[in-house]
Structure 1
Protein backbone atom coordinates (compact mmCIF):
# COMPACT_ATOMS: atom_id res chain seq x y z
CA UNK A 1 0.00 0.00 0.00
CA UNK A 2 1.59 3.27 -1.12
CA UNK A 3 -1.14 5.56 0.25
CA UNK A 4 -1.10 6.65 3.88
CA UNK A 5 -4.91 6.61 3.97
CA UNK A 6 -7.25 5.37 1.27
CA UNK A 7 -11.05 5.35 1.18
CA UNK A 8 -13.46 3.75 -1.28
CA UNK A 9 -17.19 4.46 -1.49
CA UNK A 10 -17.19 6.26 1.85
CA UNK A 11 -20.73 7.10 2.96
CA UNK A 12 -21.51 8.84 6.26
CA UNK A 13 -24.87 9.66 7.83
CA UNK A 14 -25.63 12.58 10.08
CA UNK A 15 -26.25 11.82 13.77
CA UNK A 16 -29.61 10.08 14.00
CA UNK A 17 -28.97 8.09 10.82
CA UNK A 18 -31.56 9.79 8.61
CA UNK A 19 -29.70 12.21 6.35
CA UNK A 20 -26.59 11.50 4.30
CA UNK A 21 -23.69 13.89 4.80
CA UNK A 22 -21.21 12.11 2.48
CA UNK A 23 -22.04 9.74 -0.35
CA UNK A 24 -19.67 7.45 -2.25
CA UNK A 25 -16.46 9.38 -1.59
CA UNK A 26 -13.17 7.97 -2.89
CA UNK A 27 -10.04 9.45 -1.33
CA UNK A 28 -6.31 8.87 -0.94
CA UNK A 29 -3.29 10.75 0.33
CA UNK A 30 0.26 9.69 -0.42
CA UNK A 31 3.48 10.28 1.53
CA UNK A 32 4.67 13.92 1.57
CA UNK A 33 1.61 15.09 -0.34
CA UNK A 34 -0.35 18.21 0.64
CA UNK A 35 -4.08 17.77 -0.01
CA UNK A 36 -6.62 20.50 0.70
CA UNK A 37 -10.36 19.89 1.01
CA UNK A 38 -12.63 22.86 0.25
CA UNK A 39 -16.39 23.21 0.12
CA UNK A 40 -19.29 25.30 1.41
CA UNK A 41 -20.58 25.09 4.97
CA UNK A 42 -22.32 21.77 5.57
CA UNK A 43 -20.56 20.06 2.67
CA UNK A 44 -19.11 17.30 4.88
CA UNK A 45 -15.49 18.47 5.12
CA UNK A 46 -15.07 17.85 8.86
CA UNK A 47 -17.11 14.65 8.62
CA UNK A 48 -14.68 13.37 6.01
CA UNK A 49 -11.76 14.05 8.34
CA UNK A 50 -13.44 12.32 11.27
CA UNK A 51 -14.37 9.32 9.13
CA UNK A 52 -10.83 8.99 7.78
CA UNK A 53 -9.47 9.10 11.34
CA UNK A 54 -11.94 6.48 12.54
CA UNK A 55 -13.83 8.93 14.76
CA UNK A 56 -17.12 8.58 12.86
CA UNK A 57 -18.93 5.39 11.81
CA UNK A 58 -19.38 4.56 8.13
CA UNK A 59 -22.73 3.71 6.62
CA UNK A 60 -20.96 2.18 3.63
CA UNK A 61 -17.49 1.91 2.09
CA UNK A 62 -14.15 1.29 3.70
CA UNK A 63 -11.11 3.19 4.93
CA UNK A 64 -7.62 1.67 4.92
CA UNK A 65 -4.70 3.15 6.86
CA UNK A 66 -1.07 2.17 6.44
CA UNK A 67 0.14 -0.12 9.22
CA UNK A 68 1.91 1.84 11.94
CA UNK A 69 0.66 5.18 10.61
CA UNK A 70 1.31 8.05 13.02
CA UNK A 71 -1.09 10.98 12.72
CA UNK A 72 -0.79 14.45 14.19
CA UNK A 73 -4.17 16.17 14.47
CA UNK A 74 -5.10 19.84 14.89
CA UNK A 75 -8.87 19.95 15.47
CA UNK A 76 -11.19 22.70 14.34
CA UNK A 77 -11.87 23.98 17.84
CA UNK A 78 -9.98 23.66 21.11
CA UNK A 79 -11.71 24.94 24.22
CA UNK A 80 -9.40 26.26 26.93
CA UNK A 81 -10.83 26.71 30.43
CA UNK A 82 -9.57 30.15 31.37
CA UNK A 83 -10.11 29.42 35.07
CA UNK A 84 -7.49 26.65 35.13
CA UNK A 85 -3.82 27.72 34.93
CA UNK A 86 -2.14 25.90 32.05
CA UNK A 87 1.28 26.70 30.67
CA UNK A 88 2.29 25.82 27.13
CA UNK A 89 4.86 23.38 28.49
CA UNK A 90 2.27 21.55 30.57
CA UNK A 91 -0.15 21.50 27.64
CA UNK A 92 2.45 19.76 25.47
CA UNK A 93 2.77 17.00 28.09
CA UNK A 94 -0.93 16.08 28.08
CA UNK A 95 -1.83 13.26 28.09
CA UNK A 96 1.70 11.84 27.76
CA UNK A 97 4.71 13.61 29.20
CA UNK A 98 7.45 14.72 26.84
CA UNK A 99 10.96 15.88 27.71
CA UNK A 100 11.95 19.52 27.90
CA UNK A 101 14.24 19.01 24.91
CA UNK A 102 11.47 17.58 22.70
CA UNK A 103 9.08 20.35 23.75
CA UNK A 104 11.66 23.03 22.97
CA UNK A 105 12.39 21.52 19.54
CA UNK A 106 8.78 21.40 18.36
CA UNK A 107 8.11 24.95 19.60
CA UNK A 108 11.17 26.18 17.73
CA UNK A 109 10.09 24.31 14.60
CA UNK A 110 6.75 26.11 14.60
CA UNK A 111 8.25 29.52 15.32
CA UNK A 112 7.16 30.02 18.93
CA UNK A 113 10.32 29.14 20.82
CA UNK A 114 10.45 30.61 24.30
CA UNK A 115 6.72 30.49 25.06
CA UNK A 116 6.85 27.29 27.14
CA UNK A 117 6.40 29.10 30.46
CA UNK A 118 3.53 31.28 29.27
CA UNK A 119 -0.12 30.62 30.04
CA UNK A 120 -2.22 29.43 27.10
CA UNK A 121 -4.61 32.30 27.73
CA UNK A 122 -1.79 34.81 27.20
CA UNK A 123 -1.10 33.67 23.64
CA UNK A 124 -2.31 35.46 20.54
CA UNK A 125 -4.48 33.53 18.09
CA UNK A 126 -1.53 32.91 15.78
CA UNK A 127 0.71 31.75 18.62
CA UNK A 128 -1.96 29.37 19.89
CA UNK A 129 -2.36 27.79 16.44
CA UNK A 130 1.41 27.29 16.25
CA UNK A 131 1.39 25.66 19.70
CA UNK A 132 -1.37 23.30 18.52
CA UNK A 133 0.74 22.46 15.48
CA UNK A 134 3.78 21.88 17.71
CA UNK A 135 1.72 19.45 19.81
CA UNK A 136 0.68 17.60 16.65
CA UNK A 137 4.37 17.23 15.69
CA UNK A 138 5.51 15.80 19.04
CA UNK A 139 5.69 12.16 18.02
CA UNK A 140 6.97 12.43 14.46
CA UNK A 141 3.73 11.98 12.48
CA UNK A 142 3.67 10.60 8.96
CA UNK A 143 0.50 12.62 8.36
CA UNK A 144 -0.66 15.99 9.71
CA UNK A 145 -4.43 16.54 9.68
CA UNK A 146 -5.49 20.17 10.06
CA UNK A 147 -9.20 20.97 10.32
CA UNK A 148 -9.79 24.69 9.64
CA UNK A 149 -6.42 25.57 11.22
CA UNK A 150 -6.59 29.32 10.57
CA UNK A 151 -9.97 30.15 12.07
CA UNK A 152 -9.82 33.49 13.83
CA UNK A 153 -6.56 34.63 12.23
CA UNK A 154 -6.25 37.80 10.18
CA UNK A 155 -5.04 37.71 6.58
CA UNK A 156 -1.31 38.15 7.34
CA UNK A 157 -1.61 35.48 10.03
CA UNK A 158 -3.26 33.08 7.56
CA UNK A 159 -0.50 33.60 4.98
CA UNK A 160 2.20 33.10 7.63
CA UNK A 161 0.58 29.90 8.90
CA UNK A 162 0.39 28.32 5.46
CA UNK A 163 4.01 29.27 4.80
CA UNK A 164 4.83 27.46 8.04
CA UNK A 165 2.96 24.35 6.83
CA UNK A 166 5.05 24.29 3.66
CA UNK A 167 8.23 24.56 5.74
CA UNK A 168 7.13 21.82 8.15
CA UNK A 169 6.46 19.51 5.22
CA UNK A 170 9.94 20.20 3.84
CA UNK A 171 11.61 19.65 7.21
CA UNK A 172 9.73 16.57 8.38
CA UNK A 173 8.55 14.87 5.20
CA UNK A 174 5.05 14.54 6.69
CA UNK A 175 2.05 14.56 4.40
CA UNK A 176 -0.57 17.21 5.14
CA UNK A 177 -4.35 16.96 4.87
CA UNK A 178 -6.09 20.29 5.37
CA UNK A 179 -9.70 21.41 5.50
CA UNK A 180 -10.24 25.11 4.97
CA UNK A 181 -12.56 27.86 3.81
CA UNK A 182 -9.70 30.31 3.07
CA UNK A 183 -10.02 30.22 -0.71
CA UNK A 184 -7.64 33.15 -1.18
CA UNK A 185 -4.60 31.33 0.18
CA UNK A 186 -5.49 27.80 1.15
CA UNK A 187 -4.40 26.14 -2.09
CA UNK A 188 -1.08 27.91 -2.33
CA UNK A 189 0.90 24.96 -1.01
CA UNK A 190 -1.42 22.21 -2.20
CA UNK A 191 -0.37 19.44 -4.52
CA UNK A 192 -4.02 18.47 -4.92
CA UNK A 193 -7.35 20.08 -4.08
CA UNK A 194 -10.63 18.25 -3.46
CA UNK A 195 -13.85 20.20 -3.82
CA UNK A 196 -16.54 18.58 -1.67
CA UNK A 197 -20.29 19.05 -1.44
CA UNK A 198 -21.61 15.79 -0.01
CA UNK A 199 -19.61 14.06 -2.71
CA UNK A 200 -16.43 14.85 -4.61
CA UNK A 201 -17.43 17.54 -7.11
CA UNK A 202 -13.98 17.87 -8.66
CA UNK A 203 -10.33 17.39 -7.74
CA UNK A 204 -6.88 18.05 -9.14
CA UNK A 205 -4.30 20.81 -9.08
CA UNK A 206 -5.37 24.25 -7.82
CA UNK A 207 -5.37 25.50 -11.41
CA UNK A 208 -7.59 22.64 -12.56
CA UNK A 209 -10.08 23.02 -9.72
CA UNK A 210 -10.29 26.81 -10.08
CA UNK A 211 -11.41 26.43 -13.69
CA UNK A 212 -13.84 23.55 -13.08
CA UNK A 213 -17.54 24.38 -13.60
CA UNK A 214 -18.41 22.50 -10.40
CA UNK A 215 -16.10 24.73 -8.36
CA UNK A 216 -17.52 27.91 -9.88
CA UNK A 217 -21.06 26.69 -9.30
CA UNK A 218 -20.33 26.29 -5.59
CA UNK A 219 -18.38 29.49 -5.00
CA UNK A 220 -19.79 31.86 -7.59
CA UNK A 221 -19.20 32.76 -11.20
CA UNK A 222 -16.32 35.07 -10.28
CA UNK A 223 -14.59 32.59 -7.98
CA UNK A 224 -11.76 31.97 -10.44
CA UNK A 225 -10.43 35.40 -9.43
CA UNK A 226 -9.83 34.21 -5.88
CA UNK A 227 -7.13 31.86 -7.15
CA UNK A 228 -5.23 34.42 -9.20
CA UNK A 229 -2.31 34.29 -6.77
CA UNK A 230 -1.48 30.77 -7.93
CA UNK A 231 -1.11 31.95 -11.51
CA UNK A 232 0.40 35.35 -10.80
CA UNK A 233 3.68 35.95 -12.63
CA UNK A 234 6.02 38.46 -11.06
CA UNK A 235 7.38 40.93 -13.60
CA UNK A 236 8.69 43.25 -10.89
CA UNK A 237 10.54 43.04 -7.61
CA UNK A 238 9.30 43.56 -4.08
CA UNK A 239 11.50 44.86 -1.29
CA UNK A 240 10.03 42.59 1.35
CA UNK A 241 8.35 39.20 1.52
CA UNK A 242 5.41 40.86 3.25
CA UNK A 243 4.94 43.19 0.27
CA UNK A 244 5.04 40.28 -2.17
CA UNK A 245 2.41 38.35 -0.22
CA UNK A 246 0.14 41.36 0.07
CA UNK A 247 0.33 41.98 -3.67
CA UNK A 248 -0.38 38.37 -4.54
CA UNK A 249 -3.35 38.08 -2.22
CA UNK A 250 -5.51 40.31 -4.39
CA UNK A 251 -7.47 38.78 -7.25
CA UNK A 252 -6.03 39.54 -10.64
CA UNK A 253 -8.85 41.87 -11.57
CA UNK A 254 -7.90 44.03 -8.58
CA UNK A 255 -4.13 43.80 -8.75
CA UNK A 256 -3.85 44.83 -12.39
CA UNK A 257 -1.79 41.78 -13.37
CA UNK A 258 -2.25 40.53 -16.88
Structure 2
Protein backbone atom coordinates (compact mmCIF):
# COMPACT_ATOMS: atom_id res chain seq x y z
CA UNK A 1 0.00 0.00 0.00
CA UNK A 2 1.23 3.50 -0.84
CA UNK A 3 2.07 5.83 2.02
CA UNK A 4 -0.48 8.29 0.66
CA UNK A 5 -2.54 8.58 -2.48
CA UNK A 6 -5.14 10.71 -4.23
CA UNK A 7 -7.83 9.18 -6.39
CA UNK A 8 -9.76 11.51 -8.69
CA UNK A 9 -9.27 14.49 -6.37
CA UNK A 10 -10.72 17.85 -7.40
CA UNK A 11 -10.45 21.01 -5.30
CA UNK A 12 -11.86 24.50 -5.78
CA UNK A 13 -10.96 27.85 -4.27
CA UNK A 14 -14.37 29.47 -4.52
CA UNK A 15 -15.29 29.11 -8.19
CA UNK A 16 -11.66 28.63 -9.25
CA UNK A 17 -10.70 24.99 -10.06
CA UNK A 18 -7.36 24.54 -8.28
CA UNK A 19 -7.03 20.79 -8.93
CA UNK A 20 -9.03 18.59 -11.26
CA UNK A 21 -9.21 14.78 -11.20
CA UNK A 22 -5.76 14.27 -9.71
CA UNK A 23 -4.45 10.73 -9.33
CA UNK A 24 -1.25 10.60 -7.34
CA UNK A 25 0.63 8.29 -4.97
CA UNK A 26 3.90 8.32 -3.09
CA UNK A 27 5.71 5.19 -1.99
CA UNK A 28 7.86 4.55 1.03
CA UNK A 29 11.36 6.01 0.77
CA UNK A 30 11.06 7.80 -2.57
CA UNK A 31 11.78 11.47 -3.27
CA UNK A 32 9.24 13.11 -5.56
CA UNK A 33 9.44 16.68 -6.87
CA UNK A 34 6.33 18.55 -8.05
CA UNK A 35 6.79 21.38 -10.55
CA UNK A 36 4.37 23.63 -12.39
CA UNK A 37 3.60 27.26 -13.25
CA UNK A 38 2.20 29.73 -10.73
CA UNK A 39 -1.42 28.94 -9.95
CA UNK A 40 -1.05 25.31 -11.01
CA UNK A 41 -2.14 23.91 -7.64
CA UNK A 42 1.19 22.77 -6.21
CA UNK A 43 0.68 24.23 -2.73
CA UNK A 44 -2.96 23.18 -2.82
CA UNK A 45 -1.87 19.59 -3.40
CA UNK A 46 0.37 19.68 -0.31
CA UNK A 47 -2.30 21.32 1.83
CA UNK A 48 -4.78 18.67 0.75
CA UNK A 49 -2.35 15.92 1.74
CA UNK A 50 -2.00 17.32 5.27
CA UNK A 51 -5.76 17.75 5.58
CA UNK A 52 -5.85 21.56 5.48
CA UNK A 53 -7.95 21.59 2.28
CA UNK A 54 -10.83 19.22 1.57
CA UNK A 55 -11.61 17.89 -1.93
CA UNK A 56 -15.11 18.22 -3.30
CA UNK A 57 -14.55 15.12 -5.44
CA UNK A 58 -12.34 12.06 -5.03
CA UNK A 59 -10.58 10.77 -1.96
CA UNK A 60 -7.24 10.87 -0.19
CA UNK A 61 -5.97 7.76 1.58
CA UNK A 62 -3.12 7.49 4.08
CA UNK A 63 -1.52 4.64 5.94
CA UNK A 64 -2.93 4.31 9.44
CA UNK A 65 -1.21 6.48 12.06
CA UNK A 66 1.24 7.80 9.49
CA UNK A 67 3.57 10.52 10.77
CA UNK A 68 3.86 13.55 8.47
CA UNK A 69 6.39 16.39 8.67
CA UNK A 70 5.62 19.64 6.85
CA UNK A 71 7.85 22.57 5.90
CA UNK A 72 5.71 25.52 4.75
CA UNK A 73 6.67 27.90 1.99
CA UNK A 74 7.05 30.76 4.46
CA UNK A 75 6.49 31.58 8.13
CA UNK A 76 6.08 35.10 9.41
CA UNK A 77 7.83 35.72 12.73
CA UNK A 78 6.90 38.84 14.70
CA UNK A 79 10.27 40.60 15.22
CA UNK A 80 9.17 41.64 18.73
CA UNK A 81 8.48 38.05 19.79
CA UNK A 82 11.22 36.97 22.25
CA UNK A 83 11.32 33.29 21.35
CA UNK A 84 14.41 31.17 20.99
CA UNK A 85 14.70 28.37 18.44
CA UNK A 86 14.67 25.68 21.14
CA UNK A 87 11.39 27.04 22.54
CA UNK A 88 9.87 27.19 19.05
CA UNK A 89 10.68 23.53 18.50
CA UNK A 90 8.94 22.63 21.76
CA UNK A 91 5.61 24.15 20.66
CA UNK A 92 2.79 23.22 21.02
CA UNK A 93 3.64 20.15 23.11
CA UNK A 94 6.58 19.10 25.23
CA UNK A 95 9.60 17.85 23.29
CA UNK A 96 12.71 16.59 25.04
CA UNK A 97 15.92 18.58 24.77
CA UNK A 98 17.57 15.49 23.28
CA UNK A 99 14.94 15.27 20.52
CA UNK A 100 15.35 18.98 19.76
CA UNK A 101 19.13 18.68 19.59
CA UNK A 102 18.94 15.64 17.32
CA UNK A 103 16.51 17.35 14.94
CA UNK A 104 18.62 20.51 14.77
CA UNK A 105 21.74 18.46 14.07
CA UNK A 106 20.04 16.49 11.31
CA UNK A 107 18.75 19.72 9.75
CA UNK A 108 22.21 21.32 9.77
CA UNK A 109 21.21 23.81 12.46
CA UNK A 110 22.96 22.38 15.52
CA UNK A 111 24.28 25.78 16.61
CA UNK A 112 20.96 27.65 16.38
CA UNK A 113 19.10 26.38 19.46
CA UNK A 114 19.78 29.49 21.56
CA UNK A 115 19.23 31.98 18.74
CA UNK A 116 16.11 34.20 18.64
CA UNK A 117 13.68 33.17 15.90
CA UNK A 118 13.30 36.76 14.71
CA UNK A 119 17.06 37.07 14.13
CA UNK A 120 17.43 34.11 11.77
CA UNK A 121 18.43 34.53 8.14
CA UNK A 122 16.24 32.97 5.45
CA UNK A 123 18.46 29.91 5.16
CA UNK A 124 18.68 29.48 8.93
CA UNK A 125 14.89 29.73 9.28
CA UNK A 126 14.38 27.06 6.64
CA UNK A 127 16.73 24.70 8.48
CA UNK A 128 14.86 25.35 11.75
CA UNK A 129 11.52 24.66 10.03
CA UNK A 130 13.04 21.46 8.67
CA UNK A 131 14.20 20.49 12.17
CA UNK A 132 10.66 21.00 13.48
CA UNK A 133 9.24 18.88 10.66
CA UNK A 134 11.52 15.93 11.48
CA UNK A 135 11.22 16.06 15.29
CA UNK A 136 9.14 12.90 15.35
CA UNK A 137 10.91 11.10 12.50
CA UNK A 138 8.09 11.33 9.94
CA UNK A 139 7.34 8.62 7.41
CA UNK A 140 6.49 11.35 4.88
CA UNK A 141 8.18 14.75 4.68
CA UNK A 142 6.36 17.46 2.71
CA UNK A 143 8.22 20.61 1.64
CA UNK A 144 6.59 23.59 -0.09
CA UNK A 145 9.31 25.44 -2.06
CA UNK A 146 11.73 25.12 0.87
CA UNK A 147 14.58 26.93 -0.87
CA UNK A 148 12.64 30.03 -1.88
CA UNK A 149 14.97 33.00 -1.47
CA UNK A 150 18.16 30.92 -1.30
CA UNK A 151 20.90 31.19 -3.90
CA UNK A 152 21.74 28.14 -6.02
CA UNK A 153 24.60 26.86 -3.82
CA UNK A 154 22.37 27.23 -0.76
CA UNK A 155 19.53 25.41 -2.51
CA UNK A 156 21.85 22.60 -3.62
CA UNK A 157 23.15 22.19 -0.06
CA UNK A 158 19.59 22.08 1.27
CA UNK A 159 18.60 19.34 -1.17
CA UNK A 160 21.68 17.31 -0.26
CA UNK A 161 20.50 17.60 3.33
CA UNK A 162 17.12 16.21 2.28
CA UNK A 163 18.81 13.23 0.63
CA UNK A 164 20.78 12.59 3.82
CA UNK A 165 17.59 12.77 5.90
CA UNK A 166 15.89 10.25 3.63
CA UNK A 167 18.79 7.88 4.29
CA UNK A 168 18.89 8.53 8.05
CA UNK A 169 15.16 8.48 8.80
CA UNK A 170 13.91 6.32 5.93
CA UNK A 171 11.15 8.80 5.09
CA UNK A 172 9.56 9.51 1.75
CA UNK A 173 9.87 13.11 0.54
CA UNK A 174 7.42 15.13 -1.53
CA UNK A 175 8.60 18.63 -2.38
CA UNK A 176 7.37 21.50 -4.49
CA UNK A 177 10.17 23.35 -6.25
CA UNK A 178 11.03 25.74 -9.06
CA UNK A 179 14.68 24.68 -8.86
CA UNK A 180 14.32 21.74 -11.20
CA UNK A 181 17.89 21.99 -12.48
CA UNK A 182 19.09 21.54 -8.90
CA UNK A 183 16.62 18.94 -7.65
CA UNK A 184 16.87 16.61 -10.63
CA UNK A 185 19.75 14.74 -9.05
CA UNK A 186 17.90 14.46 -5.75
CA UNK A 187 14.57 13.19 -7.14
CA UNK A 188 13.41 9.68 -7.91
CA UNK A 189 10.38 11.01 -9.78
CA UNK A 190 9.23 14.37 -11.17
CA UNK A 191 5.57 15.34 -11.52
CA UNK A 192 4.40 18.27 -13.65
CA UNK A 193 1.20 19.78 -12.31
CA UNK A 194 -1.00 22.24 -14.12
CA UNK A 195 -4.31 21.88 -12.33
CA UNK A 196 -4.02 18.17 -13.05
CA UNK A 197 -1.11 15.74 -13.36
CA UNK A 198 -0.11 16.42 -16.94
CA UNK A 199 3.09 14.39 -16.95
CA UNK A 200 5.48 12.50 -14.70
CA UNK A 201 8.49 10.26 -14.91
CA UNK A 202 12.04 9.52 -13.83
CA UNK A 203 14.27 12.62 -13.77
CA UNK A 204 16.48 11.31 -16.58
CA UNK A 205 13.55 10.85 -18.96
CA UNK A 206 12.06 14.21 -18.06
CA UNK A 207 15.41 16.00 -18.41
CA UNK A 208 16.06 14.53 -21.87
CA UNK A 209 12.57 15.23 -23.21
CA UNK A 210 11.99 18.09 -25.69
CA UNK A 211 9.20 19.43 -23.45
CA UNK A 212 11.60 19.70 -20.52
CA UNK A 213 14.21 21.50 -22.63
CA UNK A 214 11.52 23.89 -23.84
CA UNK A 215 10.50 24.61 -20.25
CA UNK A 216 13.94 25.04 -18.69
CA UNK A 217 16.33 25.76 -21.54
CA UNK A 218 17.88 29.10 -22.44
CA UNK A 219 14.75 30.16 -24.27
CA UNK A 220 12.76 30.24 -21.04
CA UNK A 221 15.56 31.45 -18.80
CA UNK A 222 14.79 28.60 -16.44
CA UNK A 223 11.24 29.81 -15.87
CA UNK A 224 8.32 27.44 -15.84
CA UNK A 225 5.92 27.71 -18.75
CA UNK A 226 2.58 26.12 -19.48
CA UNK A 227 2.45 22.51 -20.56
CA UNK A 228 1.39 20.45 -23.53
CA UNK A 229 -0.57 17.38 -22.44
CA UNK A 230 -0.23 13.83 -23.79
CA UNK A 231 -3.11 11.82 -22.30
CA UNK A 232 -1.89 8.66 -24.00
CA UNK A 233 1.58 8.90 -22.48
CA UNK A 234 1.10 9.73 -18.82
CA UNK A 235 4.77 9.10 -18.02
CA UNK A 236 6.00 11.05 -21.01
CA UNK A 237 7.39 14.55 -20.55
CA UNK A 238 4.82 16.17 -22.85
CA UNK A 239 2.64 18.76 -21.08
CA UNK A 240 -0.54 20.68 -21.56
CA UNK A 241 -1.30 24.16 -22.84
CA UNK A 242 -5.05 23.57 -22.65
CA UNK A 243 -5.52 23.67 -18.91
CA UNK A 244 -3.66 26.87 -18.12
CA UNK A 245 -4.58 28.46 -14.80
CA UNK A 246 -4.63 32.08 -13.83
CA UNK A 247 -1.07 32.85 -12.71
CA UNK A 248 -2.45 35.44 -10.30
CA UNK A 249 -4.56 32.86 -8.49
CA UNK A 250 -3.38 31.64 -5.11
CA UNK A 251 -2.17 28.10 -4.93
Same fold per superposition (TM over 0.5): yes
Q: Aligned partners of 2:59 and 2:212: how far apart in 1?
A: 26
2:7 is the alignment partner of 1:8 = yes
Q: Which residue of 2 aligns with 1:127?
A: 124
Q: Which residue of 2 aligns with 1:103?
A: 100
Deviation at 1:11, TM superposition (A): 0.7
Q: Aligned partners of 2:217 and 2:2: how far apart in 1?
A: 35
TM-aligned CA distance change 1:60 to 1:223, over 3 Å = farther
Deviation at 1:223, TM superposition (A): 7.1
Checking the alignment, whether the CA contact within 8 Å between 1:202 and 1:212 is kept in structure 2 is: no
TM-aligned CA distance change 1:45 to 1:88, over 3 Å = same
Q: Aligned partners of 1:12 and 1:104: how far apart in 2?
A: 39
Q: Which residue of 2 aligns with 1:147?
A: 144
- The alignment of Structure 1 onto Structure 2 pairs a total of residues equal to 222
Q: Which residue of 2 aligns with 1:69?
A: 66
Q: How big is each residue's C-alpha offset from its partner over 1:44-79, in whole Å with a ceiling of 9 and x where there is no partner?
A: 100111112221121211110000100000011111
The aligned runs of 1:60-209 (5 Å cut-off) are: 60-209=57-206
Checking the alignment, whether the CA contact within 8 Å between 1:102 and 1:138 is kept in structure 2 is: yes
2:36 is the alignment partner of 1:39 = yes
TM-aligned CA distance change 1:223 to 1:106, over 3 Å = farther
Higher Cα Rg: structure 1 or 2? Answer: 1
User: SS at the partner of 1:188?
Assistant: helix
Checking the alignment, whether the CA contact within 8 Å between 1:106 and 1:134 is kept in structure 2 is: yes
Deviation at 1:222, TM superposition (A): 5.0
Q: Aligned partners of 1:204 and 1:225: how far apart in 2?
A: 23
Which ranges of structure 1 fall in alignment gaps of 5 or more residues?
Answer: 227-258
Q: TM-score, normalised by structure 2?
A: 0.84
Checking the alignment, whether the CA contact within 8 Å between 1:192 and 1:206 is kept in structure 2 is: yes
Q: Aligned partners of 1:221 and 1:143: how far apart in 2?
A: 32
Checking the alignment, whether the CA contact within 8 Å between 1:120 and 1:128 is kept in structure 2 is: yes
Which ranges of structure 2 fall in alignment gaps of 5 or more residues?
Answer: 223-251
TM-aligned CA distance change 1:214 to 1:19, over 3 Å = farther
Q: Aligned partners of 2:220 and 2:29: how far apart in 1?
A: 27
Q: Aligned partners of 2:217 and 2:136: how far apart in 1?
A: 44
- Over aligned residues, Cα RMSD in angstroms? 1.8
Deviation at 1:140, TM superposition (A): 1.5
TM-aligned CA distance change 1:86 to 1:51, over 3 Å = same
Deviation at 1:183, TM superposition (A): 2.0
Q: Which residue of 1 aligns with 2:235?
A: none
